[in-house]
Amino acid sequence: MGEDGGGNAAPLHCLVTGATGYIGGRLVPELLAAGHRVRCLARSPGKLRDHPWAGDVEVVEGDVTDADSTGRAMRGVDVAYYLVHALGTGRDFEDTDRRAARVFGEQARAAGVRRIVYLGGLTPAGVPEEQLSPHLRSRAEVGRILLASGVPTAVLRAAVIIGSGSASFEMLRYLTERLPVMVTPSWVRTRIQPVAVRDVLRLLVGCARLPGDVARTFDIGGPDVLTYRDMMRGYARVAGLPHRLIVPVPVLTPRLSSYWVGLVTPVPASIAKPLTESLRHEVVCREHDIRRYVPDPPGGPVSFEDAVRLALRNVREARVATRWSSAAVPGAASDPLPTDPEWAGGSLYTDRRERSVDATPEALWRVVEGIGGENGWYSFPLAWSVRGLLDRLAGGVGLRRGRRDAARLRAGDSLDFWRVEEIDRGRLLRLRAEMRLPGLAWLELSVDTGPDGRTRYRQRALFHPHGLLGHAYWWGVSPFHAVVFGGMARNIARAAERGGTAPRDLRPRRRRR
C-alpha cells in the first residue's frame, strides 16, 4: 500500500488509543485484517473484553495523560494511532487535549516509534484560529503538537464522518426523520465535504506505511461538497422519506442549536454543541494529496448518498460495530464499583427484588439481555420517559441512545441512559447510570437457580449519594420504587414465562417516520 510496496511488506506493530470509541473500535479489526499486530491502550480494558477481536489483540491499561502507562504501551511499537480527545469533558478540555498530545508525542519519540497517525478535524480556509470553535481549535493544536514531536506524523483532517453509529450520522438521521418541517439554524447553508467512515478507515490503515519522510496534514473527504440542507434532503431521498421543508433562521446560536439538537436527536447537548459549532464555517478539502500514498479505490471514494445507504443497511441488519456512544459520556462515573470494599464505610442505598420464574434460566436471560431500547424497561413507561426527558433538559444523555444491538450486549455498551459495566452472560448484567444524578447509581439484574431447582430472578438498584442533595434525592424517589422496580421484576419474570416478549403496553411507542 503506498509507494513502498505495501501488501508484501512485513507486518507492523500498531498501538491504537481510543479503541473503546467509535473510530478506534472499527480501526482495530481493519488493522488485523491487513496483517498487523495490534496493542490497545485503554483506561478500562474490560470495555474491550466482548469485542469479537478482543482475543487477537494485546490490551494495556493506561491513560494518554499518564507518561508511565503511555510509555509502557509504546514499547516495541512501529505505528501509534492517536484517536482520543476530551470532547465535552468541561471547560478545561483544551488543556487536557494539549497535555495528552504532549505526553503521547514525547513517549513515542522516547520509545523509537516510527510513525504517529492522528485523526483530527478539517479547519476552514482563511479563518483565524481564534475564531474557530474550541473543538476545532483544540483538534488543530493537537495536530501541531504531534507534528512537532520529532516522530513522523500524519494528521488526517476530516469534516463530517458518515457511517452507522457516528455522532454526525445520528444527528443527521434523527433531524431528518423526525422533523418533516424544520426551522433550522443558519449553519444548514454551510458547505461541507462529508466522508464515509469506510474511506476514513482505509486511509488510517494506509497511513501505517507512509514513507518515513512524510510528516504533514492531509485533508480527507468524499467526492461531494454539500450544504447541511443538501445532506438532510439527500438522506430523505435515500431513506424513502417525503421531501423535507427546511427554513433557516439566523437567531439560533450554537448553544441554542445544541439544545435543540439534544432534544430532537439521541446526541446529548455536550456532544452536539462542538459538532454544531464546527458547522459555522465552510469545511471543504483544499487538497487530496493523500492519494499519492494511499491510492483511491476503484470508482473513487464513497459518495455521500452511498455512505448513507451503507449506514442505513447496517442499522437495519443490526451490524453496527461501534457507536458514537461507545466511549463513556463525559462526566459519567467510571471507576468505583458497588462491590468495592471502600463502600463499606459510606452510604449505599439498596432496593432489592427477587422472584421465582416458571421458565428456564436461558429464557429469563434472553429477556434480561434484551432490556432497554425498543423493548423498554418493563415498568411504568411514562415514568421512564419523564426521567429521560428531564435528563435531556439538564444536558444529559436521556433515553434516546437505545442499544447498539437488539439482542446482544457487551461490556462498555451504552444502553439508553445506562452503561453496561459488567456482563457475565447467562448470569449477571450490571448497569451504571449515566443520567444526571447527585450520586452514583447501578442496576443489577441476575439469573440463577434456587435450592428448589426453580429459576430465580434477582434485581438490585444501588445508589451512593453525594452530599445532602444525594440523600434527599433517594428519599424523594423511594416512594416510586415499588411501582418502578417492583413492576420491573414482576414484568421481566412474566415476559420470560411468555417466551420473552414484553407486554405491548410496557413497550416504548415507536415514532412514525
Rounded to an integer, what distance in angstroms lies between the CA atom of residue 73 and that of residue 220? 28
Could you list the beta-strand ranges (E) of 178-306. Answer: 181-185, 191-192, 195-196, 216-219, 226-227, 245-249
Distances from the Cα of 337 to the Cα of 379, 397, 415, 428, 463, angstroms: 26, 21, 18, 14, 11
Q: 0.85 exceeded by the pTM?
A: no
The fraction of the chain above a pLDDT of 90, given in percent, is 44
Question: How much of the chain is helix, strand and coil, in % rounded to 5?
Answer: 40, 20, 40
341-506 shares the fold of 9-326: no
Residue 442 has pLDDT above 70, yes or no: yes
Residue 457 has pLDDT above 90, yes or no: yes
Which residue type does 74 have?
Answer: M
Count, residues in the chain: 513
Measured in degrees and rounded to the nearest 5, phi and psi for residue 507 equal -95, 150
**Residue 399: CB partners within 8 Å, gap ≥ 6?**
384, 385, 387, 388, 391, 416, 417
The number of CA neighbours under 13 Å toward the Cβ of 430 is: 14
Higher-pLDDT residue of 264, 473: 473
pLDDT at 268: 64
Which CATH topology does 9-326 take?
Rossmann fold (3.40.50)
Contact 357, 372 (CB under 8 A): no
Q: Report residue 453 CA to chain centroid gap.
A: 41
Per-domain residue ranges of the chain: 9-326, 341-506
User: What 3-state class would DSSP assign to 115?
Assistant: strand
Contact 104, 202 (CB under 8 A): no
CATH architecture of the domain with residue range 341-506:
2-Layer Sandwich (3.30)
Contact 191, 225 (CB under 8 A): yes
Contact 123, 132 (CB under 8 A): yes
Which residue type does 11 have?
Answer: P
162 grid coordinates: 458518515
> What is the mean pLDDT of the segment spanning 156-171?
86
Question: Hunting for cell 448497569 — which residue is that?
Answer: 431
pLDDT digits (tens, 9 = 90+) for 8-47: 578 999 999 999 888 999 999 999 999 999 999 998 888 8
